[in-house]
A and B are shown apart, each in its own frame.
Chain A
Amino acid sequence: MGFKKPLLFLVVTLSTASLYFLLHSQWKVNDFGAASAAGPWTFQGGPKDLNLMYLGYTRCPDLCPMTLSLVKQAFKKLKPQELDKIRFLFVDLDVENDNAQIAENYANQFDPRFIGLSGTPKEINAVAGAMGATFNVEIDQTTHKSYAISHPNRIYFLNRKGRILDFLANPDSPDTILKMIRENL
């Protein structure tokens, strides 16, 4: 009899803890801050049903402009009611050389609806960390620019709570992006 009570207590405690972690992981809201051209910015300040995010930098000549161009083309194929539910966030990793205005100007040239974000190293590291991503500034004195930033070539798809629903690695066509938008919207 004395053995059953502690066992019951243990079972109830473990069940409660499991339920807590299950609910917490399902309903946890991810928020992260950055700087926009309009001032301080947080993800939860205006989330959409679907939030696309790309981590890049404005002096990237190859992948970043190509990806933003593909997203622009995908957005052109969306219906107005679909566009109302989504947004695209370009997070500028070049914290040494860029600022929020540069990031915004860059993103806006592809589509005025795109949001360009910058921030402090701590903020940008936190955003990348929330995506489970890393990035590195690669110094190469033999190149004209002397640096490049290695970064994931991925579009992240986040829900309203800032949780990653999906990601697309190495996007190569607007139709693939469009398909994933519609799958996750």
Chain B
Amino acid sequence: MKTLFLFIFLFSLSGLSNSKQAVTVTDALVYLPIKDSDVTAGYATFKNESPKGVKVVFHSVAPFTKVEIHETVEKGGLSTMRKINDLLIPGDGRVVFKPGSFHMMLFNPTRALRAGEELTARISCDGHLLKIKFKVVER
């Protein structure tokens, strides 16, 4: 019985480890908010190194009050944004957050930010929590 529990425990740790390693995040940055503006955007590249698609959920980016994922799309010559509820990174694929496309939309910071500091984004990949560092840069 002990052996069974140990096996289950090790198996779950193994799964956690694999999911954590499956998604790597690079070029993570958040633009310093424009003065008097309560929104800004963050960008990064999310790479899934596993063959299975991974669902990514963004929970928080302190000190912002709220984080949402939006995609800028062009329709009939007008650029508009739509909220993305479920971001899926395809197996062995990547999703690039960049201007005019996917972006992390950040609302209402509770304190002033400074260029060069690092913010921690809490995201989950298929339910496993990851902490990602985003560097604050000036526009």
B67 closest partner in A (C-beta): A144
Q: Are A145 and B39 in contact (CB under 8 A)?
A: yes
Q: Are B78 and A61 in contact (CB under 8 A)?
A: no
Q: Are A170 and B80 in contact (CB under 8 A)?
A: no
CB neighbours (8 Å) of A151 from chain B are: 78-79
Q: Are B99 and A63 in contact (CB under 8 A)?
A: yes
Of B34, B68, B78, the residue contacting A65 (CB under 8 A) is B34
In the complex, A135 Cα to B78 Cα: how many Å?
Answer: 7
In the complex, A62 Cα to B82 Cα: how many Å?
Answer: 12
Q: Are B139 and A61 in contact (CB under 8 A)?
A: no
Q: Are B103 and A153 in contact (CB under 8 A)?
A: no
Question: What's the dominant secondary structure at chain B's contact region?
Answer: strand
Q: Are A148 and B81 in contact (CB under 8 A)?
A: yes
CB neighbours (8 Å) of A180 from chain B are: none
The 0/1 profile, CB within 8 Å of A marked 1, for residues 68-96 of chain B is: 10101011011111110000000000000
Tell me the minimal C-beta distance from A70 to chain B in angstroms.
9
CB neighbours (8 Å) of B66 from chain A are: 144
In the complex, A102 Cα to B41 Cα: how many Å?
Answer: 19
Q: Are B75 and A150 in contact (CB under 8 A)?
A: yes
Q: Are A59 and B78 in contact (CB under 8 A)?
A: no
The 0/1 profile, CB within 8 Å of B marked 1, for residues 46-74 of chain A is: 00000000000011011101101100000
Asked if A152 is an interface residue, CB under 8 A from chain B, the answer is yes
CB neighbours (8 Å) of A136 from chain B are: 78, 80
Interface-central residue, A63, A68, A106, A133, by most chain B CB under 10 Å: A63
Q: Are B107 and A65 in contact (CB under 8 A)?
A: no
Of A58, A61, A138, the residue contacting B41 (CB under 8 A) is A61
The 0/1 profile, CB within 8 Å of A marked 1, for residues 23-60 of chain B is: 00000000100111111110000000000000000000
Q: Are A62 and B70 in contact (CB under 8 A)?
A: yes
Of B35, B65, B78, B108, the residue contacting A150 (CB under 8 A) is B78
Q: List 21 A-B contacts (CB under 8 A).
A: A58-B36, A58-B37, A59-B39, A61-B39, A61-B40, A61-B41, A61-B106, A62-B81, A62-B105, A65-B41, A66-B99, A109-B34, A135-B78, A136-B78, A138-B81, A144-B105, A148-B80, A150-B79, A150-B80, A152-B79, A153-B74
